[in-house]
Structure 1
C-alpha cells in the first residue's frame, strides 16, 4: 500500500467510525469513555488538532459537527442523557487511577 492509498483507507475508516457512532446515538459518551477511553468529543478534538496541524482554519463547533453530524447543542438536547451516579463514580475512579500512574 502506498502513502496515498493508506491515507484513503484511513479516511474511509474514519468516516465509517463516524457513521457507526451516528447510527448508534443511544451509546452515550460516558459509556464510550468508560469502555474505550475516548468519546465523540475526543474524536472531534483529534479532528480539530489534525486540521490545525495542517494549517486549516476550523472551529471547535465545526469539528464537533463533523463528528456529531449536527450542531453539538442539538445532539446534546436530543440524544445525550445525564450520566448516572454509577457512571460518574466509575469515570472519576478511572481518571484518578490514570493520574496516579
Structure 2
C-alpha cells in the first residue's frame, strides 16, 4: 500500500475498520473472551484504541462513547442482551494465554 497517497490509505484503513465493526456486529455470538483467547484483542480493546487515537490527535473521545460506537449500542445494553457468562473452559484458555504472554514478557 506504499504506492497510495496518505489520504487514500487513510480512507481505505477507515473503510476496513468500519467493515470490521459491521462484521463484529453481525456476529454478536462471538464473545469478547473468545476474541481475547484467539486474537488477543476484543471490542473493548478497539474502544480503548479509538480513545488513544483521539488523544494523540488532541480530540475528545471518552471511553463510553467509543464503546457505544464499537458495540453499536450502549455497552450495558449489549452486555445484557448478548454477553454470556464465560465458561470454565474459556476462563482456563484465557488464563493460559495470559500466562504465556507473561512468560514471553508481553503482559
Give the alignment's TM-score, normalised by structure 2: 0.92
SS where residue 96 of structure 1 aligns? Answer: helix
Query: C-alpha displacement at 1:33, in angstroms?
Result: 0.8
- What 5-or-longer segments of structure 1 have no aligned partner? none
Residue-by-residue CA offset, 1:20-75 (whole Å, 9 max, x unaligned): 00011011001111111111011111111101111111111001011001000000
**Counterpart in 2 of 1:78?**
81
Equivalent in 44, 47, 61 of residue 47 of structure 2: 44
Query: C-alpha displacement at 1:8, in angstroms?
Result: 0.2
What's the RMSD between the two structures over aligned residues?
0.6
**Counterpart in 2 of 1:33?**
36
Give the alignment's TM-score, normalised by structure 1: 0.97
Equivalent in 66, 69, 75 of residue 66 of structure 1: 69
**Counterpart in 1 of 2:94?**
91
Q: How does 1:16-31 map to 2 (within 5 A)?
A: 16-31=19-34
Alignment of 1:3 onto 2:3: no
Q: Flag as ranges the 4+ runs of structure 1 deviating above 6 A.
A: none
Higher relative contact order (CA 8 A, sep 6+): 1
